[in-house]
A and B are shown apart, each in its own frame.
Chain A
Amino acid sequence: MCLGIPGRVTEIYESDGLKMGKVNFGGISREVCLDYLEAIELNNYVIVHVGFAISVLDEEEAQNTLELLRQLDELGSEPGPEL
């Protein structure tokens, strides 16, 4: 139920008073409600849950997390120097 799938916003428009858009999920495009996102721009990646975008993914945070985990190999267990 709380499944959320990331996709890229390819169109933004209004329909019956709601902010809607098209979101591309790895080649498949679906209509998604964007109405309760505070700010959304074309090509942003969003998490979509039951046809509604619930967040705009933060690219910088995503890269920071991956970078931190990639460094585990060099540093050993984070942050323990005692290993």
Chain B
Amino acid sequence: MKYLDEYRDGELVRRVVEAIAGEISRPWTLMEICGGQTHSIVKSGLDRLLPEEITLVHGPGCPVCVTPLEMIDRALSIAGRPEVIFTSYGDMLRVPGSTTDLFSVRASGGDVRVVYSPLDAVKLARENPDREVVFFAIGFETTAPPNAISILQAGRLGLSNYSVLVSHASVPPAMRAILAWPGNRVQAFLAAGHVCTVMGYWEYPPIAEQFGVPIVVTGFEPLDLARGIQMAVHQLQEGRAEVENAYTRSVTFEGNRPARELINQVFETCDRKWRGIGEIPDSGLRLRDEFSVHDAEKKFDVGSLQTEESTTCIAGEILQGRKKPADCPAFGQQCTPEHPLGATMVSSEGACAAYYLYGRDIS
């Protein structure tokens, strides 16, 4: 298929890897931000093809993984209400809350439905005027414009029975937080190509400059990733720390202007907790007040929530790039995609799920 097959050309990937090997003269640690990139790297075996001087650490760009536990518990509480049709992307259904997950809520009679797009949830609200339809609006900047459109569309259609439970996160503040951590190992970033498709990469030059790290906007196919790594290593070898774009067929410096305007129209910046990581200032988006009629958090009072994390799971350290999935004693043993202890084992973007699915480090 056009725009896929040519970027999965193994021969060309090998050539790029050879070029990296020909240039590299010392160890470097790179972080790919997005969990979709992690999966592509592990699935294609690119991590095993690269020179051993390169260490790839996997970033926190897995929205399912970083959705705060309180928010999962709130979703579980709302989803159990008889008047509610709770809609979500499929990935969220197995994510463990403090005591249960959405699958179990559905098994106990809750009306929990998987949708492909938030517009599917708006359609459900239209078809079920006597029910409350709630959409679990998680994701990064890529997913925020679709959610914004769904809210505006519900407003235009007069659907007061449509609301969203918002847990949006922004990537650049998380990159700053990672670089500012004591003991940070990341020397270069592969920035998330689809977040940058929406947002552009105008936010990144101050980060590259302040922390002295190269940032290369990178796509998702094996050749895209090899090229992004090559450009980052080339900068590191030359002692440069600039922002470059290895995904020019989709990303421009300014990004998608109408999409960015939609985000600003419907959402405003807020501080936000990242599961396993903690609070990062200005790293979240919440609904503006004028859309509060569609705010599920305001519509449904769930009382006070007592959260409880697994004591075994090391998802937090994995999301911070400090540990790898195989460092966890539960990996592939008590913790599998069917019975996950943490969100990183659930999501199609979680690092533990990638290592498990593609047979990395399972003893």
Contact = CB atoms under 8 A, between A and B. Distances in A.
A50 B149 CA distance: 12
Contact of A69 (B15, B149, B220): B15
A57 B349 CA distance: 24
A50 B258 CA distance: 17
B145 interface: yes
A17 B158 CA distance: 14
Interface string A11-51: 00000111000000110000001011110000001010111
B3 A54 contact: no
Contacts of A3: 36, 194, 220, 348-349
Given A2-B36, A18-B153, A69-B12, A38 B249 contact: no
B156 A4 contact: no
Interface stretch (B102-110, B136-144, B173-181, B315-323): B136-144
B169 to A, nearest CB: 10
A48 B70 CA distance: 30
A35 B149 contact: yes
B12 A4 contact: no
Nearest to A59: B249
Contact of B89 (A17, A50, A62): A50
Contact of A33 (B18, B20, B149): B149
A83 B237 CA distance: 14
A33 B220 contact: no
Interface in B306-363: 347-349
Interface in B220-272: 220, 223, 227, 230, 234, 246, 248-251, 256-259, 262
B15 A72 contact: yes
B83 interface: no
7 cross-chain pairs, A with B, having the tightest CB-CB distances, nearest first: A51-B117, A6-B3, A26-B1, A62-B249, A61-B248, A36-B258, A77-B19
Given A16-B156, A54-B250, 14 more contacts: A1-B63, A2-B36, A2-B63, A2-B349, A3-B348, A25-B1, A33-B146, A47-B197, A55-B197, A55-B250, A69-B15, A72-B19, A77-B19, A77-B22
